[in-house]
Chains A and B, each alone.
Chain A
Amino acid sequence: MYQSTTKSFRRALCVAAGLLPIAFSSAYAAENLGGDPSALSLRLSPAQYRQTIADIFGTNIVIDGRFEPEVREQGLLAIGARWANVSDTGMDRYDELARGIAAQVVSPKNRGTLISCKPKSETGADDACARAFISGYGRLLYRRTLSEQEVATRVKLAADATATTKDFYIGLSSVLSDMLISPNFLFRYRTVETDPTKPNEKRLDSYSKAAALSYFLWNSTPDDQLIKASEKGELQTAEGLRRQVDRMISSPAMESGIRAFFADMLHFSDFQTVAKDTTFFPRYTTKINDLAQEQTLRTIVDHVRANKDYRDLITTRSTYLTRSLAALYGVPLADTTDNGEPDRFISYTYPEGDPRAGILAQVSFIALNSHSARTSPTLRGKALRENLLCQTVPPPPGNVDFSAVENTSNQVLKTGRDRLLAHSASPACAGCHKITDPIGLALENFDAAGGFRTSENGAQIDTSGVLNSVKFKGVSDLLPLIRNDPALVSCVSRKIYAFGTGKMPPRASERGSEEWAAIEKKFGQDGYKVLNLMRQIALSDMFYAVSPVEVAAAK
């Protein structure tokens, strides 16, 4: 009796909770993580760390090592960064990364270009040269000018290290690696100041604004121009802010920001645990994981930078392919001019009506949300619901007894639909599987590696279904339904804001909700152009709003 009641309750819970927007689950999740939701410091992501180092020291600096795993919260690593800290093991790893980078910066090969001065002697201290090095790179690493005390401390440490090792460059290297493990580098902190135009109010200071902007739009540290603009106070004026935002959006570095956001939203970090069995999928070689992400990101970057309607990414026939990917998809790709780059990306347009159109039919979605040797309509449906529509699919309940639905005479369940029908017959499972499976089953023409198929184990695959009361025959019918779902644009706009701030935009009646409603409305009026949305957010007041916690800390 108890068990039956519990199952009924769980079923009801599944059905009821199935389509709740993710934001409503945030309070529980934050508490469940053991962190304090009012924490605002953001740990640099591995991608931000890499991009920052590349922008400061150049792309020839090799970053060899593993990063501490990221925390995904409310669907985004960018939000989880508020909870992410540095563990003992993680500190070891940051230390290893820092020493590797610092050694390369001061190496004989690079010191001529990366160190602006030469010491009087390579075996003795040179405070002036060390000071120039520390204050110059410290400004870029800490995203602000270092205080005199911070510089003086490290000049002395460099001199001491030089005295111990009789090597000026080891002295520089040691203080550089010290700065690279500093919380001032690994975390982004927000600093508030008194607003001179409203003495009773606080505002974000210019350096914090610059960092927020640069990691939002470029996924990297502020460049010299942006730091100079913040030092002059330009970011505190509407005109100065607009000038910098427009400069940044038109910069080639904008591609980094677009890539970083979509890689986060599409959960590309999960590729680190993706492997396919080459017995079943001989064309899914180890490089496919990287190529698949690159294909999707190139498709998206082109689309976004051309200011096209975001929704059309779901149905776009335009993409990029390499020979390896084309072979995996079963697409004929003519490429005879590889110039020593056999797997280069080539622009490709699918013919009208081709089921492979759209980013959801790409390997980066199909294979990522499959098992290693077979598909998972449930995982695919769940990923689409959660990652692109911001809907929550509850976790499967425990203690579910499948015996009632499993044929002990060993019935052969040939297709994914057969297997899921077995799940759906279980009352405890049916509610949630109704949310995920119609979408996932429509993608069953794509095998676990992304290849196209029409049958499984000799049985014809049925990809028909119903979404939002509309019947569809297969993926080509389903994608336009998803494209036109209002949740698609609402979700991406909310996540873009969260990518920049580490938190979801306010709900109705919360502080800032009116401004957010206006931004969303403008997004629609502009034709759902992602760059315009990012610009709107970057110019908004809410993007830089200070919280009561920050105000209290400033006192």
Chain B
Amino acid sequence: METSILARRQVLRGMLAGSAVSVGLPILDCVLNENGNAFAATGKAIPERFATWFWGCGLGEGNWVPKAAGADYELPEQLSALKPFQKRMLLFSGSNIMLDGANNNTHTTGAMGITQGDVNKQFKASIDTIIGDHIGRGTRFRSIEVGCAGDPGATWSVREGQGRQPAEISPIKLYTRIFGPEYVDPNAGEFKPDPQVMVRHSVLSGVKDERDALNAKLGAADRAKLDNYFTSLRSLEQKLEIQLQKPDPLEACTKPAAMEGVDKGALTLATEAMARAGLFAQLLAHTLACGQTRVVNLALTQGISPLRREGESTNHHAYTHEEAIDPVLGYQVKVKWFHDQYMQALHDYLVTMDSIKEGDKSMLDRMLVFAFTDHGAPRLHSVRNYPLMFFGTANGRLKTGMHVPRPGDTTVRIGFTAQQAMGLPVSAWGEGSNRVTSPISEVLA
């Protein structure tokens, strides 16, 4: 299935809780400068955007790996849902997370390595927050995290010293948070600062004034905690400052139709989680298009995926342990059903990001989506041969359309490459055997 290019007046409509929702209108070419990398009206560069997309329990017994490297490779059946995006994808295979003697704490260690470059310490800054600190300043939210199966702890986004960023599990609550009463339409003609926001901003000084008195009576560890608290308070303050400024117009931005009602909490059916992922994708696309944040993180499942197929009592994770590999097909048949659903959900997410047009390209073309999982082979819960993907060009800094085998390399190099592609001035990342000082240069444009 090829993705269609939307005409400017064409509106893609999806269903959000029974309500029609419009996705952004394409930006006219004339609103961009000659190079197509900045808005002509403001002269401001098209924002950098970064997304992570996580699913649990790996992707198969290695038979998802294309036989050929480079461009024009044949996409294996396990990845067939992504066929429409093959030319806009970088598929990495063969890389490992190096344990350096650490225990493989299944569903945790590998993902920590991928996102934090370290298998020993939880709660180090994750790749999305590292990138967000570089590209995300000046937006209302430093990042947005969502979990599609109902677990607020599902994403891997960590700010140093603050712990895991809680994920929103309700599309309705996310809608209210982003597009509720505090939302300022960047395309509204008139802007008037909200007096209540002004008041909220000014009274924060009451809390800030407490800092010295508290510091004076605390030990070093508690002072460090307090510093982290005030970093978060500063983020709130900056958010309010942004709300008090007239936002630059963003023509691709439209506000989704209001969502009301109550979402189910935890989900157990894969089909339900897929539907919720679709709602979240729509909201995240609007959120990015409307300049509310530049970093979004979506977790389709927890690492230990609890999702089931309708009518079956065994969940995905249990199947990875218990189902035998089909001797003819060479993979776990029931487990693959889940992989197929997840890859379809990833496809749908990409379609949604692609539907936002900015000049002659789509938002997806210009951003970088990093899709990752917690394990290589699901049955083994291995930390080897990770299926990892990039989508988009990171504003033209990445080549796409290639299969990039990295046998024996550390998976951390892929995250490091993402950082350089996003323009970060970094020269090294990772710890121990996972420390890298050079990117995968063949994918950098």
Chain A residues engaging chain B, CB cutoff 8 angstroms: 31-41, 66, 68-69, 71, 83-93, 95, 99, 147, 149-150, 153-154, 157, 160-161, 164-165, 170-171, 174-175, 177-179, 181-184, 186-187, 189, 191-192, 272-277, 279-280, 286, 371-374, 395-403, 406-408, 410, 413, 419, 422-423, 448, 549-550, 552-554
Contacts and interface: CB of A to CB of B under 8 A. Distances in A.
Contacts of A150: 209-210
Contacts of A400: 380-381
A34 B233 CA distance: 21
B151 A273 contact: yes
B221 to A, nearest CB: 4
Nearest to A401: B380
Contacts of B308: 277, 372-373
Given A272-B266, A275-B266, A398 B104 contact: yes
A174 B264 CA distance: 33
B11 interface: no
Interface string B313-339: 111001001101101000000000000
Contact of B202 (A68, A90, A160, A179): A160
Contacts of B219: 38-40, 549-550, 552-553
Given A69-B164, A89-B165, A183 B239 contact: no
A153 B121 CA distance: 41
A88 B268 CA distance: 29
B379 A68 contact: no
15 contacts: A31-B121, A34-B123, A87-B162, A87-B164, A90-B166, A175-B203, A178-B203, A178-B204, A277-B269, A372-B315, A373-B315, A374-B314, A398-B109, A408-B325, A413-B322
A406 B228 CA distance: 49
A86 B196 CA distance: 24
Interface in B122-177: 122-124, 141-143, 145, 150-153, 159, 161-166, 168, 173, 177
Contacts of B15: none
A174 B313 contact: no
Given A36-B220, A178-B203, A396-B106, 18 more contacts: A33-B122, A40-B221, A41-B218, A66-B166, A84-B163, A88-B142, A88-B236, A91-B233, A153-B209, A273-B266, A275-B264, A371-B318, A372-B268, A372-B315, A399-B383, A408-B324, A419-B322, A549-B219
A234 to B, nearest CB: 23
Enumerate the 6 nearest inter-chain pairs by beta-carbon distance, A residue then B residue, closest first.
A398-B104, A36-B221, A373-B313, A39-B221, A34-B123, A372-B268
B199 A275 contact: no
Contact of A69 (B166, B199, B229): B166
B324 A85 contact: no
Contact of B104 (A149, A160, A165, A399): A399
Contacts of A31: 121
B228 A164 contact: no
B205 interface: yes
A87 B232 contact: yes
A403 to B, nearest CB: 7
A87 B159 contact: yes
A90 B315 contact: no
B166 A410 contact: no
A144 to B, nearest CB: 12
A408 B327 CA distance: 7
